[in-house]
Amino acid sequence: MSLHCQDLTVTIGETTLLTETSFEVTDPGIIALTGANGAGKTTLLKTLAGRQLPSGGEVLINDRTPYEFDPTFRAEVASLIDTPPMARDMTLLEQLALVRASWGQSPQASFQSAEQTLQRLTIRGLAERFPYELSAGQLQLFAIGLTISRPYRILLLDEPERHLDTERVQTLLQILRAEAQAGSIILTATHRQEIVEGAGDQIHLSAA
């Protein structure tokens, strides 16, 4: 299990979105991706997720070029970069269970897992609510829940703490630590010092 970038760059037209970036991650843990706005954090995550082609250098996930439509790649890498699709007419519990079922869990196990995820997120009381009924913070927690409800070995997150108050940032950190202890590599772009301090390592990007 590994993330590998060597002299990775991303340029669109005459605009440089990511300057030369190199790093190697092979051990489970939380890595904080830091840098000023415009430094390329989201671009790097999109490239690692197979959604953005690099302009130069090399990027490998588990020794393969990232490609989001490759079934093997999709089974190993989960990402929360944009707001994930949400069904307006399905409850939070139903949507989380659907994600589990789509990855092979039985219907009964899927609903049990969905309930456990809501409990971990401290929003079990919202199980029968619909996404449009949620506050911004609750919606962000649900987005995190949708992301971690599928299998992965590498988790890519773009400021998952947005809209979360201090207490819920701590909840997020507890979840990330548990996922790392279970063997996942977690790379999270963040501006929150609590997450930087809670990470085991840091990658800092400089603005182009």
Region 9-35 average pLDDT: 96
In percent, the amount of the chain with pLDDT more than 70 equals 100
**Strand 3-12 versus strand 56-61 pairing type:** antiparallel
Q: Where are the beta strands (DSSP E) in the chain?
A: 3-12, 15-25, 29-34, 56-61, 77-80, 154-158, 185-189, 201-204
Mean pLDDT of the chain: 95
Q: What does the pLDDT look like over 98-127, one tens digit per residue? A: 999 999 999 999 999 999 999 999 999 999
Region 43-63 average pLDDT: 96
Is the pLDDT reported for residue 86 higher than 70? yes
Is the pLDDT reported for residue 208 higher than 80? no
The pLDDT of residue 156: 98
Nearest of 97, 169, 173 to residue 137 by alpha carbon: 169
Chain-centre distance for alpha carbon 77: 9
Which residues have a Cβ under 8 Å from the Cβ of 156 and sit 6 or more positions away? 45, 48, 49, 77, 78, 79, 80, 81, 187, 188
Contact assessment for residue 134 and residue 165, using Cβ atoms and an 8 Å cutoff = no
Which residues have a Cβ under 8 Å from the Cβ of 117 and sit 6 or more positions away? 96, 145, 148, 149
The pLDDT of residue 207: 75
Distances (CA, A) of 45 to 16, 40, 129: 15, 9, 31
Domain 3-204 classification at class level: alpha beta
The pLDDT of residue 206: 84
Q: What does the pLDDT look like over 140-174, one tens digit per residue? A: 999 999 999 999 999 999 999 999 999 999 999 99
- Identify the band that residue 1 occupies on the pLDDT scale cut at 50, 70 and 90: confident
Is the pLDDT reported for residue 52 higher than 90? yes
